[in-house]
Amino acid sequence: MKDVAARAGVGLKTVSRVVNGEPGVTADTESRVRAAIEALGFRRNDSARILRKGRTASIGLVLEDLADPFYSPLSRAVEEVARTNGSLLFAGSSAEVPEREEELALALCARRVDGLVIVPASDDHRYLEPEIAAGIATVFVDRPASRIDADAVLTDNAGGARDGVAHLIAHGHRRIGFIGDRPHIHTADERVRGYREAMAAHGLAVREDWVSMGGTAPDRVRAELERMASGPDAITALFSGNNRVTVTAVRVLSERDRPIALVGFDDFELADLLRPGVTVIAQDPARLGRTAAEMLFRRLDGETAEPRRVELPGRLIPRGSGELPPPQ
């Protein structure tokens, strides 16, 4: 900063004004300062971050739900990377409402965050284009951006669901249900796709009343599972589409006499201490968050490569519930 001021022949305060877009600088002075910044090889974000005097560096995190335990380790990992990079983290949630995501992301930009990590609820992120053009770094996590090209860190959702359903098939199941989150949520769509692919790959028919996409409200999940588990064509196994569904499924199944096998997408605390232990396809939410945040800070440090999509594998953890055989 001193070098910029010396080269432009102005004071530190003037450099700060130019970088922060504050008034009180003549056009001539501004162009001298900008030339000095360029000559000294500052990149736009760098200079803004380093020179933004009197303001703590910060990044924003837009989550889908503050109360979903899946996002807890993800948030903490983003915050740890932020801290390592001398930044504060501000988090908020969209509650899965697209307009709310936009409002929150733009409100964070208006408060001069340097970058955003977003778990998107919207299916149109063009509202971010002016912010990105103005130098805000943006990385999407858990779900990709829509209608803009942006960095994203995802789990291989379809592949994980395929593995989980194939595991149930390998244990003898043929009538396998799927209960997932609402359609058009990227992760929900990908997981049901993996389910269908695994069934098809093993020559098994999918009855449409074995597939239920909707919210994760306990009442809905309970009703759908009880429906699928009754009648002559009752399912013998369930693949649950996320941790919220799994927790309700565990509760419903614990009340039943006839066991139904269960594999859930997402690991959760104490899954190993239940009887039977709950077999899951585990994501690594801390690694998702860490990878996304590190990508963000590389962008803030001036990396200019094309947007990348990183996909992390899911991991099958057998614990008992997914290895129950179908009734004879």
- Residues found near its own copies in the complex (CB under 8 A): 23, 55-56, 58, 60, 65-69, 72-73, 75-76, 79, 83, 88-93, 95, 103-104, 107-108, 110-112, 247, 250-251, 254, 268-270, 273-275
- Which residue, 61 or 263, is less far from its own copies as judged by CB? 61
Question: Minimum distance from CB of 102 to its own copies (Å)?
Answer: 11
Location of structure tokens 């801390």: 286
Query: How many other C-beta atoms can be found within 10 angstroms of the C-beta atom of residue 88?
Result: 13
Distance CA 46, CA 55 (A): 14
Question: Minimum distance from CB of 97 to its own copies (Å)?
Answer: 10
Question: Minimum distance from CB of 205 to its own copies (Å)?
Answer: 33
- Which residue, 210 or 268, is less far from its own copies as judged by CB? 268
- Which residue, 29 or 58, is less far from its own copies as judged by CB? 58
Angle CA 129–103–69, to nearest 5:
105
Question: Minimum distance from CB of 91 to its own copies (Å)?
Answer: 5
Asked whether the beta carbons of 162 and 72 are under 8 A apart, the reply is no
- Which residue, 192 or 245, is less far from its own copies as judged by CB? 245
185 in helix, strand or coil? coil
Instruction: Indicate the DSSP class of residue 87.
Output: -
Question: Minimum distance from CB of 134 to its own copies (Å)?
Answer: 17
**Residues with Cβ < 8 Å from 154, sequence gap 6 or more?**
141, 142, 143, 144, 288, 309, 310, 311, 312
Angle CA 159–69–224, to nearest 5:
65
Q: Which amino acid is at 18?
A: V
Distance CA 295, CA 312 (A): 14
- Which residue, 92 or 159, is less far from its own copies as judged by CB? 92
- Which residue, 95 or 317, is less far from its own copies as judged by CB? 95
Question: Minimum distance from CB of 110 to its own copies (Å)?
Answer: 7
